[in-house]
Amino acid sequence: MFGAMGDFVQQAQRVRQEMARLQETLSKRTVEVSSGGGMVKVVANGKQQILSVTIDPEAWSRGDKEMLQDLVTAGVNQAIKASQEMVSDEMGKMTGDLGPLGSLLKGMR
């Protein structure tokens, strides 16, 4: 009985180490999305942090404040969603390698 508990503890430690490694990796990975046909580009990392927003000068020159606000909002929302999908994909890869404990973690995503 204690052998199984020891295996579980070791696997839990492995998961913790893998999670820390994955978080570090994802903090360095980025996604880039655009809205308005490329008028607004947004870059986010795997921590769902917005790293940059680039607005095409043509969008400024149109003088349509509401449209520009909508494009920025759409771009930020798309970037966050893309970042979340990237994290989910990577978590799926990691949990698939963890056997029974991975099945438990998949239910927590």
Q: pTM for this one?
A: 0.74
Length of the chain in terms of residues written = 109
For the stretch 55-100, pLDDT in tens is 999 888 888 899 999 999 999 999 999 999 999 888 888 777 655 5
| Structural domain total, the chain | 1
- Six-digit token string for 52: 């940059």
Compute the 3-state secondary structure of the chain and give helix, strand, coil in percent, each to the nearest 5: 65, 15, 20
**pLDDT score recorded for residue 57:** 93
**pLDDT score recorded for residue 71:** 95
Interatomic CA distance for residues 61 and 91, integer angstroms: 42
Supply the CATH number for residue 31's domain: 3.30.1310.10
Full domain range(s) for residue 59: 2-106
Sign of the torsion formed by the C-alpha atoms of 56, 60, 64 and 65? positive
